Each structure stands twice: as structure tokens, then as C-alpha cells.
Copies of this chain bind each other. A is one copy, B any other.
Amino acid sequence: MNACVAPRAVATLLDVTTTPAPDRNYRRDGVHGRLVHELGRRVIDGRYPIGDALPTETALVDQLGSGRSAIREAVKVLTAKGLVKARTKVGTVVQPESCWHLLDPDVLAWRYQNDPSDKQLEDLGGVRVAFEPEAARLAAGATDRGGIAAIQREYLLMEQTIDDPDEFIGHDLAFHAAIVHTGGNQLLEQLSALMSAAFAAARQVHTRNVRRNKRTLAGHRAVLDAIVGRRVDEAAELMRVLVTGAQHDIRRDLRSRPRGDAHARA
């Protein structure tokens, strides 16, 4: 377990907006963090349209009430995230979406906090469907007994909290995080943490459906058994069934809840 990715998955789930900024390397409350988030959101939201230039640095200084150094440092960060590109005389222009570093934690959060489209949620789920089965396969082949014990522990907690959706979803995420962690692939682990954070940010998909949870519990159990039994192909296939099922559930929810309507059926 480490301080920056794995345990966060659980903690960031329940209250995304209220959490100050525990896992970022800069303080959101300082001038720098505030500027980065403000400008970043404006770009992602389309308030600064693609192809257009941001206000000039001096204009931003006036509008945002901070020094030019702070503005420049923030813009440089956005540049590093692929959102904008600065050129002398032309200005700082917003790059096309294909340039954005969508796998950057901030970009992902900004994108999925702000009323993500169905397509965007579909893409997000697609990534989960892609890597979760492989993570289960790796976990099933792993020799890390402690890791497998952690998976088992989280499964049991899921069983115990089946009637409390908020608790349950936390252990659900922890179950998947434990599997990815046990798999031992750093890149997949980061990817998993990113996806979890994005799903948590996209509050559309926060469903608290006890009946559905009870149904998926069996699927989780099957995955667990396959991992414990070292049946790698079976673990992968069962996990695939599980996450595609979740993907279908999300699709159904989105269809029945046209748009902009968060927290339905609480």
C-alpha cells in the first residue's frame, strides 16, 4: 500500500467535492492551486472555446486578481496537461480535445465532474472493462498471500454492509483496488485509481440500489473464488462478466434518466 494511489480510491469515493485536497501535491486553497483549477475548469467546460485564445496574461491578472507570475505558473501547468499551447503574439490557445491528457487526474476530474456526456461515461466504463479482467488474471496468478487475504477481507465487508449502499460501494471499490494491487502492475494500479476517481466524480452513476448490489455480490464471490483457486482464465472471464454487467447497468440508468438529473432513486 502506498500513500498516493491505492488507499485514496476508497477515501475519495464518498465525498469528492467536500474533501479539501489531500492527495494533490499543491494546495487547492493557495493562489496557485486556485488558478490552476479555475482556468482548467474554464477550458474543460468550454468557457474558453477550443481554438480560441485565453485572455492575455495581463487581462487575467486584472480579472483574477493575482500576479503575473502566478498566472504564468498556472498556465504552464495547463500546458503540461495538454489543454493549451502558448505562442508569442498569438496568445495561449485552447488545444483540440485530442491533445488533452485525458489520463491526467485533474483533467479527468474536471471532465467528469462537469456533466459528462453518455459517450464519455461509456468510454470510462470501456476502460474498466478492458483492464479489470486482466487485473483479475494477474491477481489469480500472484504469489502474494497478503494481497489475496486483502481481497477476501473486502469481499466479506461487502457481504456485511450489503444493506448500507454507501458503505457497500466503498468496499466494492476497495475489492477491485485490492485485486489490482495484488496483480502487481503499477501502471494498471494507477489506471484503476484514475477510473475510480473519475467514476466517483461522475455522480450520475452513483446508484444506491440494494437489490442490484445483492445481485452483483454473487459475481464478486465467483471472482474471489477463482482468484483464491488460482484459476487465472476463469478469474478473468468472471471479472469480465462482472464489469460488463456494471457497464450495462450504467447504460440502463442513463437511458431512464434523460440528463442533468443526478442522484436519482436515492
A-to-B contact residues, CB < 8 Å = 2-6, 25-26, 32, 36, 69, 72-73, 76-77, 79-82, 84-86, 95-99, 101-106, 120, 122-124, 126-127, 129-131, 133-135, 138, 185-188, 190-191, 194
Contacts and interface: CB of A to CB of B under 8 A. Distances in A.
A191 B85 CA distance: 21
Nearest to A2: B98
A123 B138 CA distance: 11
Contacts of A126: 134, 138, 185, 187-188
B187 A84 contact: no
Task: Rank and list the top 3 A-B pairs by shortest CB-CB distance, nearest first.
Answer: A2-B98, A130-B134, A4-B99
Count of identical protomers in the assembly: 2
Given A77-B77, A80-B77, A194-B103, A96 B2 contact: yes
Nearest to A81: B80
A131 B130 CA distance: 5
A187 B124 contact: yes
15 contacts: A4-B82, A4-B95, A26-B85, A72-B73, A77-B77, A102-B186, A102-B187, A103-B104, A103-B187, A120-B186, A127-B185, A130-B131, A130-B134, A130-B188, A191-B191
Nearest to A103: B103
A85 B81 CA distance: 17
A110 B252 CA distance: 42
Among A5, A36, A138: residue with most chain B CB under 10 A:
A5
A186 B99 contact: no
Given A186-B102, A187-B123, A191-B127, A4 B96 contact: yes
B98 A4 contact: yes
A234 to B, nearest CB: 15
B185 A123 contact: yes
Nearest to A83: B25
Contact of A5 (B98, B187, B188): B98
A60 to B, nearest CB: 15
A34 to B, nearest CB: 14
A72 B67 CA distance: 14
